[in-house]
Amino acid sequence: MKLHSDAVTAQTGLRYDSAAKAFFGLLGRFPAVLRQLPRQNAVLLQIAGTIPDAAQVNEQLRAWQEENPCVLSAEYRNRRIGCAFIIPKKQPDETVCGLASAVTMLAADLGMRPCCMSCGTESAYELYFLDKNGVTVCPECRAELAEKLAAEQEKHAQEKPKYAGIVLGALLGALLVFGMTWFVMRQSRISVLTAYAGMVLGFLLMKKLGKKVTLPAALFCAVLCLLGSFSGIWLHSAQSLAAKNRDMISLLDVMHDDPDFQPFELTGGAKRAHDMLFGDMESLKLASEITDGHIRMFYENPSAGKCLLHLPALCRIPIYRAEGREILMDMLFGFLSVAAGTAMSIYPILRGRKTAYLLRKPVAA
């Protein structure tokens, strides 16, 4: 739900600052800011002023919150009352304005007096936006605050990424993508979500460990995650090809020892290899293309490690062509997955801090 700015303005007298996407002005005697919370059906109301007995006001606010199901939170802290309201579907503007006026009256009853939120002086204060929040400051406090904000801004601008953390985060991300890809492929077919999830986790880790993430660092992480995804695919494929090679070896051994063997006597790996080679017309045709060179490759590559080294050559053996095509498809999936993960998370990762340390006067549209 969204509030209608005309209705809110008419009912409260607050004006709308379109840059802050917030209403501002006086509610009763109190400087106030009312703004919609991002991606939620809720608004935040902030009323500046001082109340002698903070414990009492919080008790009253809690009681008031319990009476009103639309009130998500209500608290007095640092010379400001902050309340969050749900915007109901029915009569959104009336409900929110009604709650705002109720809390204002409660504040007046409790003896709240408008003041500078920083020093508490009750004269010459003015309402400002500090980033998105409503604050009141007097000219003296304003100068002090501006200085502090400039220092914060400077500090943030000079904040350097921690390269060791970035590299470690990217490596951990790639390892996650690798492990998840390999694990998921063991259970079933590769899914686009696998590398995507690992990728997003990798970005978060890099951000956490590296503090500040630059574009090259994010791309570095994406490339490592892509390698992680491919490695998971290659390892899984090498393991399954090694198992097939071992089956083939056991079949060839049986055939070598007993040229008159009967297929129905075969068991285990030799039977699996026999079924693969002679199972249907298509595989029979493929089997007839197998050369002595191919047979040598079965014997030379009984382990996953060996298969990993000779993956492209193995995929050219006629009976493994389908596996070769599958690896390429899986790699395409891995690539799309990493690309999607990068596209979805690179912007929030690069954007960094949300606050800009900006103090400015509200402006009505």
For residue 266, state whether it binds Zn ion (rule: CB under 5 A): no
Q: Which of 105, 119, 151, 284 binds Zn ion (CB under 5 A)?
A: 119
For the chain, first and last CA: distance in Å? 21
Does position 118 interact with Zn ion (CB under 5 A)? The reply is yes
- How far, in Å, CA of 59 to CA of 288, rounded? 87
CB of 31 to Zn ion, least distance (A): 13
Residue 24: CB minimum distance to Zn ion, A: 19
Distance of closest approach, residue 131 Cβ to Zn ion, in angstroms: 19
116 is a site residue for Zn ion (CB under 5 A): yes
Instruction: Let me know: does 232 contact 304? Beta carbons within 8 Å.
Output: no
CB of 115 to Zn ion, least distance (A): 8
- Specify the residue, 142 or 274, whose C-beta has the smaller distance to Zn ion: 142
Long-range contacts of residues 37-44, Cβ cutoff 8 Å, at least 24 apart: 37/84, 41/1, 41/86, 41/87, 42/72, 42/84, 42/85, 42/86, 42/87, 43/3, 43/84, 43/85, 43/87, 43/96, 44/82, 44/83, 44/84
245 touches Zn ion by CB under 5 A: no
Sign, CA torsion 226/229/235/238:
negative
* Least distance to Zn ion, CB of residue 118, Å: 4
Segment lying near Zn ion (by CB under 5 A), choices 48-56, 82-90, 117-125, 313-321: 117-125
Burial of 70 (0-12, 13-18, 19+ CB in 10 A): middle
The token pair at 241 is 């090809």
Nearer to Zn ion, 20 or 145 (CB): 145
Strand order of the β-sheet with 22-27 is: 15-17, 22-27, 30-36, 42-48, 80-86, 71-76
Q: Does 138 bind Zn ion (CB under 5 A)?
A: yes
- Mark the segment that binds Zn ion (CB under 5 A) among 1-9, 133-141, 269-277, 301-309: 133-141
For tokens 């006629």, name the residue.
318
| Binding residue (CB under 5 A) for Zn ion from 3, 141, 218, 315 | 141
Residue 145, interface with Zn ion (CB under 5 A)? no
All residues at 6 or more sequence positions from 6 whose CB lies less than 8 Å from its CB, including other chains: none
Q: Find the part of the chain contacting Zn ion (CB under 5 A) among 51-59, 95-103, 109-117, 222-230.
A: 109-117
> Which residue is it, tokens 């470690």?
168
Q: How far is the CB of 145 from Zn ion (least distance, A)?
A: 9
User: Smallest distance, Å, CB 112 to Zn ion?
Assistant: 17
- Planar angle of CA 224, 241, 270, nearest 5 degrees: 165
Instruction: Specify the residue, 120 or 302, whose C-beta has the smaller distance to Zn ion.
Output: 120
The crossing angle, in degrees rounded to 10, of helices 215-257 and 192-210 is 140
Q: What does the alpha-carbon distance between residue 151 and residue 129 come to, in Å, rounded to a whole number?
A: 18
Given the rule CB under 5 A, which of 14-22, 121-129, 192-200, 219-227 is the region that contacts Zn ion? Answer: 121-129
Identify which of residues 147 and 154 has a Cβ nearer to Zn ion in the complex.
147
d(CA 196, CA 187): 18
Q: Is 215 in the site for Zn ion (CB under 5 A)?
A: no
Count of residues that bind Zn ion according to CB under 5 A:
6
Q: Which stretch binds Zn ion (CB under 5 A): 15-23, 63-71, 131-139, 328-336?
A: 131-139
Closest by CA to 252, choosing from 305, 294, 306, is 294
- 24 vs 125, which CB is nearer to Zn ion? 125
Question: Least distance (Å) from Zn ion to the CB of residue 46?
Answer: 17
Residue nearer to Zn ion on the CB measure, 48 or 174: 48
Binding site for Zn ion (CB under 5 A): 116, 118-119, 121, 138, 141
